[in-house]
Amino acid sequence: MLNIVLFGPPGAGKGTQSEKLITKYGLTHLSTGDLFRKHLGEGTDLGKLAKKYMDEGHLVPDEVVIQMVEDKISNSENSSGFIFDGFPRTTAQAEALDKMLANHGMAISGMIALDVPFQILKERIIERGKTSNRVDDQNEEKINTRIKVYLDETLPVAKYYEKQGKFKEINGVGEINDIFNEISETIDRY
Ligand code: ADP
């Protein structure tokens, strides 16, 4: 069973690499951002709640995110493992994830962090905003808020896994396939 946390700031390439990893390793992709956008598209109460936070670049409250992830894990009983993308984003979420996985007889294999300089992140997100229809990608102030939220609230999650000896950082700038190969080499050592 492989359970990987793909980590990094907004625009680091987590979604792109996740798509390739689920194909190669047969894992279930669990992207909290994608799940929220699905709810939003379907107009559910959860989607409406999340939208208020997402559009401003703020985090959706922990208890809401954790419940959604718990449901997804419980509904994926036959999975051979997960790629967690955009989750956990706070230390409280990381602690909750460890407990949830333990309840299902699983554990995190490792965290892989994509390292990308902030100037490049901003350029990538602005480029994505031209076609993504994402309100949070289309405004420089909101992009700056997301980067600040990442630094203040999400970066401590890296320390959480570092303390457990499960942290590995990879350069997220370069050819998509080269980055993918480096991630794969790390996973193959788990
Ligand atoms: P990006 O990595 O480009 O910021 P995501 O799709 O991962 O995009 O997330 C978009 C938004 O969804 C976040 O800015 C936040 O509002 C919300 N969100 C996603 N995952 C979480 C999470 N684990 N905790 C809180 N909010 C989240």
pLDDT tens digits along 32-83:
999 999 999 999 999 999 999 999 999 999 999 999 999 999 999 888 999 9
Write down the pLDDT at residue 26.
Answer: 96
Does 133 have pLDDT greater than 90? no
User: How far apart are alpha carbons 83 and 11 in whole angstroms?
Assistant: 17
Site of tokens 């990879």:
170
Whole-model pTM: value is: 0.95
Displacement of CA 147 from its chain's centroid (Å): 14
Answer whether 114's CB lies under 8 Å from 179's CB: yes
Could you tell me the distance, in angstroms and rounded to a whole number, from the CA of residue 88 to the centre of ligand 1? 10
Write down the pLDDT at residue 77.
Answer: 81
Q: Which residue CA neighbors atom 10 of ligand 1 most closely?
A: 33
38, 134, 159, 166: which one is catalytic?
A: 134
User: How far apart are alpha carbons 24 and 17 in whole angstroms?
Assistant: 11
What domains can you pick out in the chain, each with its CATH number? 2-188 (3.40.50.300)
Write down the pLDDT at residue 177.
Answer: 98
User: How far apart are alpha carbons 91 and 150 in whole angstroms?
Assistant: 12
